[in-house]
Chains A and B, each alone.
Chain A
Amino acid sequence: MQKRTGTGACVLWVAVVAGLVLSAGCGKDADSGKVIRVTRNIGGREGFRLHFKAWQEAFERDNPGWKIELIDLGNQNGDEFYKARIATGDLPEVVMTWQLTPMLVKGNHLVPLDEAYYGKFGIPLPRKYKGRYYTTQGGIQVQGIAVNRKMWADVGITTPPQTWDEFVAGLAKLKAKGHRPLVLGGREWSAFQPLFYAIATNMYDRDPSPDKPSWTIRRNRAEVRFATDPTARLILEKMIHLLDNFVEKGAASDGYNEEQRIFYGGKGATWMMGCWIAGDVEANQVDFEIDYWPIPSMTGRKPVLITCSVPQSGWAMTTSATGEKRAKARAFLECFYDPEVYQLFLNGEGQFAAASKVPVKGPRSAWEPAQRLFDNIQRTMDEYGTTPGFHIALDDMPPPILFSNTMKAVMQEMLAGTRDVDRLLKMLDDDWDSALKGM
C-alpha cells in the first residue's frame, strides 16, 4: 500500500510541475494568420510613430482583412534582435535592415526587390549588392553640424567656416564670450560623431568609383593602417584638442538625451548630429533659428555634408513571408510611397525625397523654425554637396556596427584624458582586425 502512495505522489508531482511549466509557457506569442510583422526603431520619436501609423493605415485600407504588427526596436540597432529571431527561425516578414543587409543576405533571409518596384516610383536604382536589389529608401540621411545661429552671430560668424582651423577658432571665440561651444555627451553612442565626421570627410574619397579601392578595402588588405596613416594621426590630434578645450567637464556623463536638452534648450552653440534632428525640432518646440553647416576638412578639402546613405538600408522583405504573405509584404512596401505616408516619413527622418514620381519633395513642417531648418539643410546640400564617407557600398564598409562602438570608445578614452595618440591608433587598428575576424 505504501508503495502505491509513493507512486501516486510521484504522478501528482509530475502533473503539477508539468502544469506549471505549460502555463509558464503560455507567454509565447500566438501564431497569427493574416498579419505582416514589421520592425521599426520608434524609440519614443513622435515623427516615426506618426509615419508608421499612417503607413499601417494605408496598407490596412487597401488590403482588407490583413493587419500590420509593429515590432518596436526602441533605440536598438536591431542586430541582436535579428540574430535572435534568425536563431528561432522567426524573422518578421518585413525588416528594417540598416547596415545589416550583408548579414541578412548572406544567410539568405532577404527576398530581392525587382527593378519594376523602383521604376514605378522613380527611385534611382541603388548600387547592387551581390547583383540584386533589396530595400526601399531607408537611410538616405545627411550628417552635418547644427548650430545655434544667434550664438555664432554673437561672435561675428554667420557663414560656415571653410576649414577645420577656422571652425576651431570660432569655437574659441564662443568660449571666450561665455557660451558653451560644443554639445557632446561621452556616455552613449553619440560620442562618436565628431570622430566619425573627421574620418569620413578626410580619409575617404569624395567620389569613389568601383575601380579605385576605398580606404576600407585597402585597410582590409592591410595596405594601410591607422597607426601608419598620417591623416589618422592628424585627426586624433585635432580631436584631442577639440575635447580638451571645448567640451565641458562632466560631458563624459552626458548621453544623447542630455545633448538634446542642452541644444534644444538653447544652451549650446554647436551640435554635430544628423539631419533627423530637424524632425525633432517641432516635437521639442524649439523656437530659435538653427543653421545646418557642412563639415570643414582638416586636410584642405572643401567642406561637405555626409550622406549616411548606406546603399540598400531601408525596409526589405524576408524569406519568412511565404505564400500570400509575400504578395502582401510587397504591397506593404508599395504603400511606403503613398504620398501622405511618404511625406510623414520624410518629416520624421528629416530626409529629402528620392522618389521622383511621387509628388513629395522633402520634409514639411507647420512649425516654422523646423521648416526653415529643412530648407536650410537643402540649401547647404545644394551648395556644398555630399560625400558617402565610408558608406560607399555594402561590401565596402568598415567592420559593421562595431566600428561605431570603437570610435565611441576612442572618444571616451580621449575624454578620460588619454593623450597617447599611438595607443589610440592601436585601439582603432586592433578593434578593426578583431571585428574583421567576426565577419
Chain B
Amino acid sequence: MSQGRIRLRFGWLEGLMLLAGAVFVSPCLLALLNAVKTNPEIIRDPLALPERWTLDNFKFIFTGMKLARPMLNSLLMCAGVILCLVTIAPMAAYSIMRRKMATGRLLRVFFLIGLTVPFQIIMVPLLKLFRMMDIQFTYVALLLHYVSWGLPLCVFIYSAFMATIPRELEEAAAIDGCGQVSTFWRIVFPLLTPCTITVIIFWGLWIWNDFMQAFIVMGPTRGQLVFVQLWKFLNDQYVRNWNHIFAGVVVLSLPVTVLYVIMQRRFVKGLTAGAVK
C-alpha cells in the first residue's frame, strides 16, 4: 500500500464510519460543551450552545476543588512507579528468560498468577500489612502497591519481547568478561526500548486514571491524587453541580487527550501491547 499518493477515496462507508465515530465520542463533546456553561443552563438544555461562555467552572477547579496539588502528586506517583517498573521488571524478565527450563517456567507461572488476581482479594490483608510496616495510608505504600501490582504484566510483556532478542550479543559480552548484571544494562536494556515505551504509556495512563485502588490504599482522607479528589468531591452530595463536574472531567482528561492526539499511534500500540502476542 503506497503511502505517498494522496488518496481521496471517500465513499459512503467512510462517511458512515466517520459519523459513527463522532457519535461514539459525543458524550465527551457534551462534557466539553457543558463545562463552559453555568449550572442552571445545563439543567435547562444540555444540548444547547452556552448563552454566555464562562470559565468560572475552571477557576473553581483550582480554588474550590483544589486540584492543583493533586495533579502534581499524580505526576510524581506516575514517574516514581514507572521508574521502578522499567528497571525492576526487565531485570526479572531477563533473569527468567535466560534460565534453565524448569526454574524459568516456575517463575513465569509465579508471575502469571498475578494477572488474574482481582484487587478485592488482596485489598484488606494488604492494608493490614502496611499497618504492620507502619506505612499505612502513605504515598510510599501506594507506590509499593502500584509497582508490585504492575510487575506481573510488565514481566510478561518484557519476557515476550525478550524471546525475540538473539543470544549472540550476550554471549559475546560474556566472553569479554562482562558480569551478568552489566550485560543486561549495557546491552540488553537499550534493545528493550520499544517495550519500555509501552510500559511508560500503559502505566502512566493507568496510574493517572486510577481512583479506586488509590482511594482504598490511601484511605478516605489522605488521598491526594487527581481522580480520588474528584471522586471525593462528588461524594459530597450537597454540592453536586454538573458544571463543576464537567469542568473537572475536562481538565483532568486534558493532558491525556492532548498526548493521545499527538501520539495516537504510539498510544494505541502501547496500550494493546500486552494483549497482542
In the assembled complex, B95 has its CB within 8 A of some CB on chain A: no
CB-contact partner of B80 in A6, A24, A188, under 8 A:
A24
In the assembled complex, A416 has its CB within 8 A of some CB on chain B: no
Min C-beta distance of A30 to chain B, whole Å: 13
Between A24, A87, A188, the greatest number of chain B beta carbons within 10 A of the residue's beta carbon is seen for: A24
In the assembled complex, A327 has its CB within 8 A of some CB on chain B: no
Min C-beta distance of B30 to chain A, whole Å: 18
0/1 interface trace, chain B 126-141, chain A, CB 8 Å (1 if under): 0100010000111110
Which chain A positions have C-beta within 8 A of B131? 87-88
The answer to whether A2 touches B182, judged by C-beta atoms less than 8 angstroms apart, is yes
In the assembled complex, B87 has its CB within 8 A of some CB on chain A: yes
| Segment of A50-58, A72-80, A331-339 in the binding face | A72-80
CB-contact partner of B76 in A6, A20, A74, A255, under 8 A:
A20
| Segment of A8-16, A213-221, A303-311 in the binding face | A8-16
The answer to whether B239 touches A28, judged by C-beta atoms less than 8 angstroms apart, is no
Between B84, B127, B143, B219, the greatest number of chain A beta carbons within 10 A of the residue's beta carbon is seen for: B219
The answer to whether B237 touches A2, judged by C-beta atoms less than 8 angstroms apart, is no
In the assembled complex, A64 has its CB within 8 A of some CB on chain B: no
Min C-beta distance of A16 to chain B, whole Å: 7
The answer to whether A74 touches B232, judged by C-beta atoms less than 8 angstroms apart, is yes
Min C-beta distance of B234 to chain A, whole Å: 10
Between B177, B222, B235, the greatest number of chain A beta carbons within 10 A of the residue's beta carbon is seen for: B222
Q: Which of A239-267 contact B (CB under 8 A)?
A: 255-257
CB-contact partner of A27 in B73, B220, B240, under 8 A:
B73
Q: Is chain B's binding surface mostly helix, strand, loop or mixed?
A: helix
The answer to whether A6 touches B84, judged by C-beta atoms less than 8 angstroms apart, is no
Q: Which of B205-240 contact A (CB under 8 A)?
A: 219-222, 224, 232, 235-240
In the assembled complex, A84 has its CB within 8 A of some CB on chain B: yes
The answer to whether B140 touches A81, judged by C-beta atoms less than 8 angstroms apart, is no
In the assembled complex, A434 has its CB within 8 A of some CB on chain B: no
Which chain B positions have C-beta within 8 A of A81? 220-221
Given known contacts A27-B224, A44-B239, A21 and B140 CB-to-CB distance under 8 angstroms: yes
In the assembled complex, B181 has its CB within 8 A of some CB on chain A: yes
The answer to whether A84 touches B235, judged by C-beta atoms less than 8 angstroms apart, is no
Give complex CA distance A13, B127 in Å: 28
In the assembled complex, A3 has its CB within 8 A of some CB on chain B: yes
In the assembled complex, A71 has its CB within 8 A of some CB on chain B: yes
Q: Which of B112-138 contact A (CB under 8 A)?
A: 127, 131, 136-138
0/1 interface trace, chain A 251-286, chain B, CB 8 Å (1 if under): 000011100000000000000000000000000000
The answer to whether B140 touches A257, judged by C-beta atoms less than 8 angstroms apart, is no
Give complex CA distance A72, B180 in Å: 54
CB-contact partner of A255 in B79, B178, B232, B237, under 8 A:
B237
The answer to whether B76 touches A75, judged by C-beta atoms less than 8 angstroms apart, is no
With CB as the reference atom, state the residue of chain B lying closest to A23: B76
By size class, the interface of chain B is 35 or more
Min C-beta distance of A335 to chain B, whole Å: 25
Which chain B positions have C-beta within 8 A of A74? 232, 235-238
Which chain B positions have C-beta within 8 A of A20? 76, 79-80, 83
The answer to whether B221 touches A255, judged by C-beta atoms less than 8 angstroms apart, is no
Give complex CA distance A26, B222 in Å: 12
In the assembled complex, A159 has its CB within 8 A of some CB on chain B: no
In the assembled complex, B149 has its CB within 8 A of some CB on chain A: no
In the assembled complex, B77 has its CB within 8 A of some CB on chain A: yes
Give complex CA distance A3, B180 in Å: 10
Which chain A positions have C-beta within 8 A of B53? none
The answer to whether B76 touches A257, judged by C-beta atoms less than 8 angstroms apart, is no
Min C-beta distance of A7 to chain B, whole Å: 9
Which chain B positions have C-beta within 8 A of A44? 236, 238-239
Min C-beta distance of B163 to chain A, whole Å: 24
In the assembled complex, B179 has its CB within 8 A of some CB on chain A: yes
The answer to whether A13 touches B220, judged by C-beta atoms less than 8 angstroms apart, is no
Given known contacts A27-B73, A74-B232, A76-B220, A6 and B237 CB-to-CB distance under 8 angstroms: no
Which chain B positions have C-beta within 8 A of A3? 179, 182
Give complex CA distance A80, B84 in Å: 31
With CB as the reference atom, state the residue of chain A lying closest to B137: A88
The answer to whether A6 touches B240, judged by C-beta atoms less than 8 angstroms apart, is no
Q: Which of B133-192 contact A (CB under 8 A)?
A: 136-140, 143, 177-179, 181-182, 185
Which chain A positions have C-beta within 8 A of B139? 24-28
Given known contacts A6-B182, A6-B185, A13-B87, A24 and B238 CB-to-CB distance under 8 angstroms: no
In the assembled complex, A17 has its CB within 8 A of some CB on chain B: yes
Between A27, A43, A74, A255, the greatest number of chain B beta carbons within 10 A of the residue's beta carbon is seen for: A27
In the assembled complex, A209 has its CB within 8 A of some CB on chain B: no
The answer to whether A24 touches B140, judged by C-beta atoms less than 8 angstroms apart, is yes
Q: Which of B40-87 contact A (CB under 8 A)?
A: 69, 73, 76-77, 79-80, 83-84, 87
The answer to whether B219 touches A25, judged by C-beta atoms less than 8 angstroms apart, is no
In the assembled complex, A45 has its CB within 8 A of some CB on chain B: yes
Given known contacts A16-B83, A25-B139, A256 and B77 CB-to-CB distance under 8 angstroms: no
Given known contacts A6-B179, A10-B181, A80 and B238 CB-to-CB distance under 8 angstroms: no
Give complex CA distance A245, B240 in Å: 29
Which chain A positions have C-beta within 8 A of B232? 74
Which chain B positions have C-beta within 8 A of A75? 235-238
Min C-beta distance of A383 to chain B, whole Å: 32
22 contacts between A and B (CB under 8 A): A2-B178, A6-B181, A10-B181, A17-B80, A17-B83, A17-B87, A20-B83, A21-B140, A24-B77, A25-B138, A25-B139, A25-B140, A29-B222, A43-B237, A44-B236, A75-B237, A84-B220, A84-B221, A87-B137, A88-B136, A256-B238, A257-B237
- Give A residues with C-beta under 8 Å from B: 2-3, 5-6, 9-10, 13, 16-17, 20-21, 23-29, 43-45, 71, 74-76, 80-81, 84-85, 87-88, 188, 255-257
- Give B residues with C-beta under 8 Å from A: 69, 73, 76-77, 79-80, 83-84, 87, 127, 131, 136-140, 143, 177-179, 181-182, 185, 219-222, 224, 232, 235-240
Other CB < 8 Å A-B pairs besides A26-B139, A44-B236, A87-B131, 19 of them? A2-B177, A3-B179, A6-B181, A17-B83, A20-B79, A21-B80, A24-B77, A24-B140, A28-B222, A43-B236, A74-B236, A75-B236, A75-B238, A81-B220, A84-B221, A255-B237, A255-B240, A257-B238, A257-B240
Would you list the 10 A-B pairs with minimal beta carbon distance, nearest first?
Answer: A74-B236, A44-B238, A44-B239, A6-B182, A84-B219, A20-B80, A24-B139, A43-B238, A75-B237, A80-B220
